[in-house]
Amino acid sequence: MQVVILESPQAVAEYGAHIFIRRLQKQPRSVLGLATGSTPVALYQTLIEANQAQAVSFQQVTTYNLDEYLGLDGDHPQSYRHFMNEQLFNHIDIDKNNTFVPPGSASNPVSACDEYEQMIEQSGGIDIQLLGIGRNGHIGFNEPSSGLRSRTRVKTLTQATIDDNARFFAADEFQPHLSITMGIGTILDSAQVVLLATGSSKADAVFATVEGPMSASCPASALQMHQNAVIVIDEEAAAKLEHKDFYKHIERENQKLLTQLGLD
């Protein structure tokens, strides 16, 4: 697990975006795993700017989103499909037919989950998966107690997650308590994982993810088992890490090596 600690949320977004940009420059046909929430918004903005400056193209890209609320149609303003259109897809040269979000309004959500897994597999698997993290350590909507090898399925949201996400819904609006989410096993199958976290409200979850025991109590801690996981965080989110200085030292050494090899 590589831990990159940066000064500000903006630096986190740019560092994360450049991982995607470099990958797309090398491999324009990439399959990207995407995330919602407030954290990735600045990263998406950086990708939009890079696309508009013609530094990167999404014409051959396929995307799979992590999760969706069960019971919300893609046209619903609080659906994650709508979020992705607004925050990214409407502003880049991607073919929307190649963008996939779990179908929140599927008549049979159980078989829709299996189909989503098959579609990812048929695309050749995910090259880079972007993740945010919930305050309780969830990734996607894999809440604490999720199986560490779970696949795409219907998940019940915890009250903590419902409360955290209530800010996006009007007071009298229907807020789903169920979701469809890629499983932890699905996420671990991605060739690379990039998790972003910013702000002090994420410090406990980041600590449990990086330095806690691997446990279903903190679903993101399963990333300790991933061969290529990068955790990009700001100082506030890193505040509780015991080995913070060591991670910074490693990152400086990595950068030196990349410069020597002409790969920076």
Q: Which of 138, 165, 189, 234 does the annotation list as catalytic?
A: 138
Q: What are the structure tokens assigned to 64, written together? A: 């799979």
Cβ distance to ligand GLP smaller for residue 58 or 141: 141
Q: To the nearest whole angstrom, how small is the minimum distance from the Cβ of residue 199 to ligand GLP?
A: 8
DSSP string, 75-130: TSTTSHHHHHHHHTGGGSS--GGGEE---TT-SSHHHHHHHHHHHHHHTT--SEEE
Cβ distance to ligand GLP smaller for residue 4 or 187: 187
Cα–Cα distances (Å) from 89 to 5, 50, 162, 181, 232, in that order, read 29, 13, 26, 20, 23
Instruction: Tell me if residue 76 is catalytic.
Output: no
Cβ distance to ligand GLP smaller for residue 141 or 247: 141
Instruction: Tell me if residue 117 is catalytic.
Output: no
- Does 67 help bind ligand GLP (rule: CB under 6 A)? yes
Q: To the nearest whole angstrom, how small is the minimum distance from the Cβ of residue 59 to ligand GLP?
A: 26
Which region, judged by CB under 6 A, interacts with ligand GLP, from 15-23, 33-41, 114-122, 213-221?
A: 33-41
Strand ranges of the sheet holding 153-156, from the earlier edge strand across to the other edge: 67-69, 178-181, 153-156
Instruction: Tell me if residue 127 is catalytic.
Output: no
Q: Report how far residue 215's alpha carbon sits from residue 81's, in angstroms, rounded to the nearest whole number.
A: 30
Q: To the nearest whole angstrom, how small is the minimum distance from the Cβ of residue 208 to ligand GLP?
A: 15
Instruction: Tell me if residue 173 is catalytic.
Output: no
Cα–Cα distances (Å) from 112 to 24, 53, 68, 181, in that order, read 29, 37, 12, 11
Cβ distance to ligand GLP smaller for residue 37 or 102: 37
Annotated catalytic sites, by residue? 67, 136, 138, 143
Interface with ligand GLP by CB under 6 A: which residues?
35-39, 66-67, 132-134, 140-141, 161, 165
